[in-house]
Structure 1
Amino acid sequence: MLVDRRDTLGHARTDAVSRQHHLLLELVPSGAKTFLSAPQARALLNTVRPRDIVGRTRRQLASELIIEIAVIDKKIKAANTHLTELVASTGSTLQQLNGIGPSGAARLLGDIGDIDRFASRDHFASWNGTAPIDASSGDQHRHRLSRTGN
């Protein structure tokens, strides 16, 4: 549940940043870079003083989105801290692997459970869909991954 919550926060942040970027493209003549932090967006927004009602409304909405993104960032940070603590309490070293963060490690541990429930590496590979399946035909020998994996 916590991993799903963290994923939802990530999606909400992406959506808010996208909306903010669209508003800044309309407000700033040269546009805005794609990956803006909340303080960078605030600094950029402070340089804009629209005179018409549409521009002022866009600026107000962009300002509200900056606050929304800052709140989401705090929630993501808290969720990551909580997930890191939970993963550490299991004694897992998954987060030491390159590309595995607290959310990914927690997702793996939650989905897999006790690894000892699998009789062998092959059984685990079959369960998670990474065991190659024979897809040979005639003299051509090849394998593919199972489409029925986890």
Structure 2
Amino acid sequence: MTGTSHGDVMREVRTSPADGTQSCATDRRDALDRLHRRVQGTVERRLREETGFGLSEVQALRYVARSSAADAGAEPMRLGDVANGLGLSQSATSRLTARLRRQGLIISSAVDHDRRGVQVLPTPAGHAALRRTASRYEQVVRDAVRDLGSQEADPLLWHFLIGESDARTVVR
């Protein structure tokens, strides 16, 4: 986030527009987006440094593994469902899954009843990689959120992000 400090972002989340050209909801949404990109950038960098995997790779493995178990009863997931679940375009998802396939972390095949469709399934190596990265991913996300600083964050947003169940009771 070049040129915009965390404090600036959090002040934007709490304040209304000065010039009246945008709604408060739009400003809050933009500030939340910048906050999300800040956390995402931190998580991406640390995950890559600590695990060798990027954020999108870990998220894709987690998503695909949710629909399947490591046992023989695993059900493949359609590539379109992966794209929708991750919020990625079809082409971005195809590139991501191609990377995971080259690394031996997933397998893909044509859908039996629709030869244009592609389905994916984690390999045993994919499940093992996910087990190795899961706790680091959790900790990296917690650290990135914690590093936002509770003093500058909107109280409701802060409590939500750190997972406190009493976030609704915070007085603004």
Same fold, judged at TM 0.5 (above)? no
TM-score (norm 1): 0.29
The structure whose Rg is larger is: 1
